[in-house]
Amino acid sequence: MNLYPLKFEPIYKKRIWGGQKLKEIFGKHIPPLEKIGESWELADLPDDKSVIINGEFAGQNINSVIRKYPEEIIGSSNFSENLPLLIKFLDAEDILSVQVHPDEQTCKRMGRGEPKTECWYIISAAPDAVIYKGLKKGVTKEQFSIAIKNGTAAELLVKVPVKPGQCHFLPSGTVHSIGAGLLIAEIQTPSDTTYRVFDWNRVDDTGKARQLHIEEALESINFDTAEVSLPVTTVGRLVDCEYFEIDKGHQAKNCETLLSPGKMKTLIILTGFGTILAVDGTSVEFKAGDCLIAPAAYEGAIRFADDTQYLTITLRVKNE
């Protein structure tokens, strides 16, 4: 089997806070006039599995192909159920709810949910754009609970001005929100468990407020997380956690870099375009807004036809 870089069909999600920036910046074929808040670029969840759109595996979902070739694609035969990675583009035309994702211990304690650790890479940002990242120092569970009831929960969050090129790490248990005017690449562990504590008093098109999960959120928030433990990075190694590593690359026009075999690499193309060329001469083209998997057994080179910025995600896969 001659494996090759895999490209995927995006899965679009309408959100009350979404917009049309994915079309404006990346040329995504999203439905006009609809509020598309999320484009799932790589997913392997029970109800959402990315479908391959190029080469011999076109039309098959990522899970079925990895099950056939686990060592060749992820670099390990230890593949039990799902690819441990979820990648999205988020278009926050409006502010997101204040929310938290549980950690593994909380999920076990409550007997439900899936843990999620994530990071946000800021692709574009409106002037004065902000995110909310963790609680202010010293805020207790009791204080935050009262603030939720009073509608003042956001006042206890750390408000962080953001700029394009920043990467913000958000381990599970971190209460957070994305402000308006941001396009973000979100790299995370594969979970869609989200507990909302405050939604800015919004209602949907039918006049109905979205469901909150206050009890679960209060149980999930890590109130001992200090602000200094939630760093921001801009160059080189952006994230190094127990689940994945993320590196930022920047190559000038007509440059080339090698893709060595051994580990699966997931590429998010932020700007530019080019070609991935295998040693046997076959090639796969890429452009800004693409997300590709370079299988562990693949060997080739990336040729950049334009000035290109990209992220490389490497999973921490446990071998048998």
Catalytic residue among 109, 112, 196, 303: 196
Task: Give CA–CA dist 97/101, Å, rounded.
Answer: 12
Let me know whether 140 and 264 are in one domain: no
Is 208 a member of any domain?
A: yes
Same domain, 116 and 159: yes
Segment (H or E) for 65: helix 62-68
Q: Are residues 257 and 230 in the same domain?
A: no
196 in active site: yes
Residues 128 and 172 in one domain: yes
Tens digits of per-residue pLDDT, 65-91? 999 999 999 988 877 788 999 999 999
- Answer yes or no: is 46 within a domain: yes
Which of 234, 252, 284 is the last residue in one of the domains?
234
Report the candidate in 20, 50, 59, 15 with the shortest Cα–Cα distance to residue 293. 50
Cβ atoms 136, 95 nearer than 8 A = no
Looking at the structure, do residues 175 and 282 belong to the same domain, yes or no?
Answer: no
Q: Is-contact 89 37, C-beta < 8 A?
A: no
Q: Are residues 209 and 259 in the same domain?
A: no
Report yes or no on 175 lying in a domain: yes
Q: Which of 181, 206, 234 is the last residue of a domain?
A: 234
* Total tally of structural domains belonging to the chain: 2
Domain hosting residue 194, numbered range: 6-234
Tell me the pLDDT tens digit for each residue of 110-152: 999 888 999 999 999 999 999 999 999 999 999 999 999 988 9
Residue 1 domain flag: no
CATH of the domain at 299: 2.60.120.10
What six digits make up the tokens of 58?
């076109």
8 Å CB contact between 44 and 73: no
Question: φ and ψ at 104, to 5 degrees?
Answer: -65, -40
- Tell me the pLDDT of the chain (320 aa) as tens digits: 689 999 999 999 999 999 999 999 999 999 888 999 999 999 999 999 999 999 999 999 999 999 999 999 998 887 778 899 999 999 999 999 999 999 999 999 999 988 899 999 999 999 999 999 999 999 999 999 999 998 899 899 999 999 999 999 999 999 999 999 999 999 999 988 999 999 888 887 788 888 899 999 999 999 987 665 677 889 999 999 999 999 999 999 999 999 999 999 999 999 999 999 998 888 999 999 999 999 999 999 999 999 999 999 999 865 54
Same domain for 278 and 196, yes or no, is no
